Amino acid sequence: MAHKTPTVPADREGVARALRVLENGGLVALPTETVYGLAARADDAEAVARLFSAKGRPSFNPLIVHVASLEQAAAFTDIERRVADWRSPHGEISLGEFATEAWGRSATLVVPLRLGAPVAREVTAGLDTIGLRLPNHPVARAVIAGAGPLAAPSANRSGFTSPTTADHVLATLDGRIDLVLDAGPTAAGVESTILKLRDDGRWAILRAGPAFNEAGAPQFLAPSAEKSRQTTIEAPGQLARHYSPGKPVRLNAHAREDGEYLIGFGAVTGDATLSATGDVVEAARNLYARLHEAARSDNPRIAVAPVPEQGVGIAINDRLRRAATP
C-alpha cells in the first residue's frame, strides 16, 4: 500500500532529513523508548498548531516538551529548586538531580514554567506548568540535540491507540504529517510515567508508566508518594476515553464470545497474546501492537484477558480501562 507520508530509516541521513523538516516548521514522527512521538519545535507556534490539527487534539490537553540535556531543561524551569528526595521521605535534592534519575526511568516531570520560557503557549495549554522529558532513545536524542526542544505527544490521531511502530503511525496520520523516522518497534510499549511537582515539593503520580514496582509506586520515589486526585487536565493521558482501537473492548475476559477478537495473557490463550508466559513487561511492550491487530481484524469486538495490577501492569490496566470507555 502506497503512503502519502514518506518513511525513512532512522540513520544519519534520516535524522538529517528530519532536522530539515523541523527547521521548516514541519511535523516528524520519531521513535522513543516508550512509543513513537509526533514532534514539532516547541518554540514554533505555527508548527505546534499544525500538530494539534494533525492529531485532532483538543487545545486544553497540554503537550510534553522533550529535551536532550539538563541544560536545555533549565530554559523552561528552575532546576536548582529543592524537591523531595526519592531516597528519603524527609530528604531534599535539587530538581535537576531528581530529573536525572527520573528521566533515566522513562518519566515525565510536570514542573513550574519559567517566565519567558521559549515555548509556544499552545504547548502548555495556558497552564503555569510544563511537562519535561528526556527520552532514552539515541534517535530521539540526536534529533532533539540538532533541532532543539521538541513538543511531542504520541504519533496517532487523538483518542486512538498509541503507535509502537512506524506502520502504527501511518494507520492514523498518513498524509497529515511530513515524515516518519523508522527505528523499528519501541522497547517499553507504554507511555512515560508522569509525575507532578506539588507546591510543598512532593511528587504526585498523574499517569502510570514503565517505572513502576510491585507496590505501585515509581521505583525512584519514596513509598509515601501520593497519587493525584485529578480534577482538571494537568498532563497528557488523563482523558477518560483514550487509546481506543475503534471497536468495543471487553476487559477481564477468560474466553472468547461470539464476534470477539481475544487478546490473551498467561494461561488465557486467544487470537494473539500479550505474553504467553504472563510477563507484564512483555505485555506492555506488546499492548498497542495487539490492539492495532485487533482493530484490523474482521471481528467487530475485542476482548482482553486479565492482566495483574502489579509492576507495569498498573500502566497496562490504566490504558485498557480508558480504551474500553465508550
- The answer to whether 129 is annotated as binding is yes
**In this structure, which long-range contacts are made by residues 308-312, counting pairs with CB atoms below 8 Å and at least 24 apart in sequence?**
308/280, 309/216, 310/214, 310/216, 310/280, 311/212, 311/213, 311/214, 311/280, 311/281, 312/190, 312/208, 312/209, 312/210, 312/212, 312/280, 312/281, 312/283, 312/284
Tell me how crowded residue 309 is: count the other CB atoms within 10 A of its CB: 13
- The answer to whether 152 is annotated as binding is yes
- The answer to whether 106 is annotated as binding is no
- The answer to whether 288 is annotated as binding is no
- Residue whose C-alpha cell is 538531580: 97
- The answer to whether 34 is annotated as binding is yes
- Would you say 195 and 108 are in contact if contact means Cβ atoms under 8 Å apart? yes
In DSSP terms, which residues pair with 83 in a beta bridge?
Answer: 93
- The grid coordinates listed for 203 are 511528587
- The answer to whether 36 is annotated as binding is no
d(CA 181, CA 18) in angstroms, rounded, equals: 8
- The answer to whether 154 is annotated as binding is yes
- The answer to whether 172 is annotated as binding is no
d(CA 203, CA 303) in angstroms, rounded, equals: 35
**By C-alpha distance, which of 71, 47, 67, 177 is closest to 120?**
47
- The grid coordinates listed for 80 are 536548582
- The answer to whether 229 is annotated as binding is no
- The answer to whether 57 is annotated as binding is yes
Tell me the binding residues: 34, 57, 61, 66, 129, 133, 152, 154, 162, 192, 207, 243
Query: What residue numbers does the annotated binding site for L-threonine cover?
Result: 34, 66, 133, 192
Binding site for ATP, by residue number, is: 57, 61, 129, 152, 154, 162, 207, 243
